[in-house]
């Protein structure tokens, strides 16, 4: 019998073609604008052997138990904090993800947010579009330099390393904090391993690149923002729940830190009241991996993981 798969959103065609070629039957959640509800996912998974999920889908106990045939969940993302891994393990369901391919793309966006928030690019864009630009002025939209500054990287994994490599080109001094020292990370970037507190106190830019775990949840709160320089810029392209948004708004409002660049939100897609009103925050819609090239690569990997599983081969990227 041909395996049957539910896909929670339409993926790039390059991925679907691999499914077609492998003779795997699939249904795709039909709406591209609105995300499926939990019930939509449960209904979709019924009678399926596999599921391709997004980071915005909650894959909890009920979903994992909604088909007795469900054997594999292929996550179209590197992060998988939306999946109940313990339950998947208990049920013997394989979970895979797509690491590696989105590293450089996410690092590009991180730098984009650093530049945009330091140099007030979005604010100046709005001002210019509104017809308010009346002439060059010495004090108009003054921001902060990025080159030559100190960058604090929290999380020395793939994406943190890719950000560090970019920072070298900008002549930045790099501090990093990680669960353990990473000699590879230090090589070629000159990054210095410091305590979390020292990183907060000495960095001009603080950027987070950790997965969401019980240890990193709420890692940036009022205390941490207070420890940062008044001119510091906070960047989050990792997970929204790693920061306390209320504390961030307060820090941005009171001038405890200068600015922030955010790709992720605590309860996305909901945006906490008050954030959008601030001029010193640049906000984008979780587009860290959103380049055409990378989203295609992610689709190909997600589908290859799934096909390998059904063909009895080891998936390239197994979580459990």
Catalytic residue among 62, 186, 250, 268: 268
Is residue 241 within 8 Å of residue 218, measured between CB atoms? yes
Of 78, 83, 200, 235, the one binding ligand DGY (CB under 6 A) is 78
> What does the per-residue mask of binding to ligand DGY show for 79-108, with x meaning CB under 6 A?
x----------------------x------
Is residue 143 within 8 Å of residue 279, measured between CB atoms? no
Q: Please count the other Cβ atoms lying within 10 Å of the Cβ belonging to residue 236.
A: 25
The span of 17-25, 28-36, 133-141, 281-289 binding ligand DGY (CB under 6 A) equals 281-289
Q: Please count the other Cβ atoms lying within 10 Å of the Cβ belonging to residue 61.
A: 13
Catalytic residue among 239, 258, 295, 304: 239
Query: Which residue blocks in 156-258 are alpha helix, DSSP H?
Result: 158-169, 183-186, 196-202, 222-227, 245-254
In the complex, minimum distance from the CB of residue 317 to ligand DGY, in angstroms, rounded to a whole number? 12
DSSP 78: S
The span of 61-69, 74-82, 139-147, 198-206 binding ligand DGY (CB under 6 A) equals 74-82
**Binding of ligand DGY by 77 (CB under 6 A):** yes
Residue 268 annotated as catalytic: yes
Of 45, 55, 228, 299, the one binding ligand DGY (CB under 6 A) is 55
Residue 239 annotated as catalytic: yes
**Binding of ligand DGY by 50 (CB under 6 A):** no
The span of 126-134, 138-146, 198-206, 283-291 binding ligand DGY (CB under 6 A) equals 283-291
Which residues lie below 8 Å from residue 45, measured CB to CB, with a gap of 6+? Answer: 6, 51, 63, 66, 67, 70
User: CA 236 to CA 114: how far, in whole Å?
Assistant: 10
Is residue 237 within 8 Å of residue 210, measured between CB atoms? no
Note the residues at the interface with ligand DGY (CB under 6 A): 55, 77-79, 102, 286, 288-289
């Amino acid at each position: 019998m041909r395996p049957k798969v539910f896909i929670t959103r339409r993926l790039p065609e390059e991925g679907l073609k691999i499914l077609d070629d492998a003779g795997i039957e699939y249904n795709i959640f039909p709406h591209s604008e609105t995300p499926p509800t939990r019930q939509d996912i449960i209904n979709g998974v019924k009678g399926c052997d596999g599921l391709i999920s997004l980071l915005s889908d909650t894959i909890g106990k009920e979903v994992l138990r909604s088909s007795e045939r469900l054997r594999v969940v292929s996550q179209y993302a590197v992060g998988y904090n939306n999946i109940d891994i313990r339950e998947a393990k208990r049920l013997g369901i394989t979970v895979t993800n797509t690491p590696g391919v989105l590293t450089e793309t996410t690092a590009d966006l991180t730098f984009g947010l650093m530049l945009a928030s330091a140099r007030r690019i979005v604010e100046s864009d709005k001002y210019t579009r509104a017809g308010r630009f009346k002439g060059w002025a010495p004090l108009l939209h003054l921001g902060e330099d990025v080159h030559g500054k100190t960058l604090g990287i929290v999380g020395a994994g793939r994406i943190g390393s890719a950000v560090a490599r970019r920072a070298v080109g900008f002549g930045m001094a790099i501090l990093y904090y990680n669960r353990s020292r990473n000699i590879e990370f230090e090589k070629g970037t000159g990054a210095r391993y410091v305590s979390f507190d020292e990183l907060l106190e000495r960095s001009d830019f603080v950027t987070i690149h950790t997965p969401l775990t019980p240890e990193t949840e709420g890692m940036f709160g009022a205390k941490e923002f207070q420890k940062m320089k008044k001119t510091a810029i906070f960047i989050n392209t990792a997970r929204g729940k790693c920061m306390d948004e209320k504390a961030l708004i307060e820090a941005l409002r009171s001038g405890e830190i200068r600015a922030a660049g955010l790709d992720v939100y605590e309860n996305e897609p909901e945006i906490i009241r008050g954030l959008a009103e601030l001029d010193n925050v640049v906000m984008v819609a979780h587009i860290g991996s959103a380049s055409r090239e990378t989203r295609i690569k992610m689709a190909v990997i997600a589908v290859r993981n799934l096909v390998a599983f059904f063909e009895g081969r080891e998936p390239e990227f197994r979580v459990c």
